[in-house]
Structure 1
Amino acid sequence: MNGTLSLARIDIILSHPSHPGNIGAAARAMKTMGLSRLTLVAPKRFPDEEATARASGASDVLAQARVCSTLEEALADTVLVAGITARRRDLAAPFHWARGGAAELLAGTQQGTRDVALLFGNETAGLSNDELAHCHLGIMIPANPDYSSLNLGAAVQLMCYELRLAALSPGEPPRGEFAPATSDEVEGLHAHLERVAIATGFLDPAQPKRLMPRLRRLFARARLEHEEVSILRGLLSTIEQPKRRNKS
């Protein structure tokens, strides 16, 4: 796939943006670097005149923006999700600096026909641990550690530049012929695994500790394929069957 065409497969997601001006600034940043897919999760104000004004000619990006009520809805069909964060988290996915993370996303567009996403958090709090748990990798911008605060629009501009830079380079070859699992499929696996872990007594829901977040981290590193999710869910279903027979 042509590098710049790969940019059309990348979804820029703003989770719970509170300032419409930042939405417009993000749209402008995207268009200047050849990206066009914008998704907003529960924006406080959108559509809004301030967003249109700050877009400064990128109103087409705003017009076709997708608005979702939940992050799960926004990520349902994605196969690779990277989250922008200002600090490393204990139980988060593997981390990359901005340039390496952009290259990973571009490589992800070469796998199958599904899309990849770059996730930005709220202007005040950034991504929550729950939001970052949906990501396959975390991306950090190597800012001044004594003052790492970066405006949302500026962060989007910087990452869109890195994505374009990566797109203009040949990058890594495709990693395999098998279709990667979508975020929706992986979420189904997590829910199924938790249900079986509770049913077998392996997980005490009253004292879950960090079992499920650690399993999320494991699967994020593995970058599961569609067939692998099917195999694991088939195994879990087999484990459930004796319990169902005992109840009947």
Structure 2
Amino acid sequence: MLQNIRVVLVNTSHPGNIGGAARAMKNMGLSRLVLVDPLTFPHHEADARASGANDVLAGAKVVATLEEALVGCTLVVGTSARDRRIPWPLLDPRECGAKVIEQAGEGAEIALVFGREHSGLTNEELQRCHYHVHIPSNPEFSSLNLGAAVQVLAYEVRMAWLALQGQPTKQAKVEVASARSAELATMDEMERFYGHLEQALVDIGFLDPDKPKHLMSRLRRLYGRSEVNRSEISILRGILTETQKAARGEVHKRKDQ
């Protein structure tokens, strides 16, 4: 599916930006790069900025015109940083990612088109696109580096792809749920902790056993929703023990003192 998506850079003036775009693509699982009449390519600065995505650069297709770059595409999305006089279907980056993956999943060939560093795409070039996408950056400093713009759209494409594949968009925890549950303190361990906590609070004068009010109920609710594990219970019990010793005047100097 991601193989159906090509990133098209039009008339890029700085080879380093081509490398930056290649790196952004590879980060997000995209590999098809098409360069329309680049000023300088190949170039060592492109290789340096690619930083490991040299395979994307090596596979880049260089063409003379945008028409050549778009051959076979049934969905073309052009990036636009400015308002245009001619109304055109407009997407934000998230909508763009969803639209691209929706159609790529149906076998369509997709092009994400990025313009020149200083002037973007011309009106004529934008009219060759089915949709325009605008990255809502800070209006007081709205200009994005070409590689950064590619990164934003490639990220949204990947997020939409992960969602469609049913894959997690957050880093999975190392432990599985069953293992984690096994680490949680058992009810009997929690009861011993509550007993220890109550006695320690009495020892330091924080809890009046004749007028307990609802203190222990509130503390039970607090710890109950914290999913305390066995290691944490041991730490808490150790703190309570040392607190009781201090209350009895059994204060010991720390070993490092």
| Fold-level similarity (TM above 0.5) | yes
Residue equivalent to 1:138? 132
Q: Distance in 2 between matches of 1:40 and 1:151?
A: 17
Q: Which moved more, 1:85-94 or 1:160-169?
A: 85-94
Residue equivalent to 1:9? 4
Give the TM-score of the pair, scaled to structure 2: 0.62
Residue equivalent to 1:199? none
2:95 pairs with 1:100: yes
Q: Which moved more, 1:92-101 or 1:72-81?
A: 92-101
Residue equivalent to 1:91? 86
Q: Distance in 1 between matches of 2:146 and 2:114?
A: 8
Residue equivalent to 1:109? 104
1:151 aligns with one of 134, 145, 148: 145
Q: Which moved more, 1:30-39 or 1:85-94?
A: 85-94
Contact 2:34 2:63 in 1 (8 A): yes
Give the TM-score of the pair, scaled to structure 1: 0.65
Residue equivalent to 2:161? 167
Q: State the shift of 1:90 in Å.
A: 2.2
Q: How does 1:146-225 map to 2 (within 5 A)?
A: 146-170=140-164
1:128 aligns with one of 122, 125, 135: 122
User: Can you list the C-alpha shifts for 1:26-56, whole angstroms capped at 9, x where unaligned?
Assistant: 0000001100000000000000011001100
- Matched pairs, number: 165
**Structure 2 gaps, min length 5:** 166-257
Q: How does 1:46-61 map to 2 (within 5 A)?
A: 46-61=41-56
Residue equivalent to 1:35? 30
- 1 or 2 for the larger relative contact order (CA 8 Å, sep ≥6)? 1
Contact 1:93 1:135 in 2 (8 A): no
Q: Compare CA radii of gyration and give the structure with the larger one.
A: 2
Q: Distance in 2 between matches of 1:88 and 1:99?
A: 19
User: Can you list the C-alpha shifts for 1:167-186, whole angstroms capped at 9, x where unaligned?
Assistant: 11129xxxxxxxxxxxxxxx
Contact 1:81 1:116 in 2 (8 A): yes
| Code of the aligned partner of 1:24 | G
Q: State the shift of 1:20 in Å.
A: 0.2
Identity of aligned residues (%): 53
User: Can you list the C-alpha shifts for 1:60-90, whole angstroms capped at 9, x where unaligned?
Assistant: 0000000010000110110000011112312
Contact 2:96 2:153 in 1 (8 A): no
Q: Distance in 2 between matches of 1:87 and 1:168?
A: 30
DSSP-derived class of the 1:26 partner: helix
Contact 1:92 1:133 in 2 (8 A): no
DSSP-derived class of the 1:163 partner: helix
State the Cα RMSD in Å.
Answer: 1.2
1:78 aligns with one of 69, 73, 82: 73
Q: State the shift of 1:146 in Å.
A: 1.8
Are residues 114 and 99 of structure 1, via their aligned partners in 2, closer, same or farther at CA, if it must alter by over 3 Å? closer
Structure 1 outlier segments of 4+, above 3 Å: none
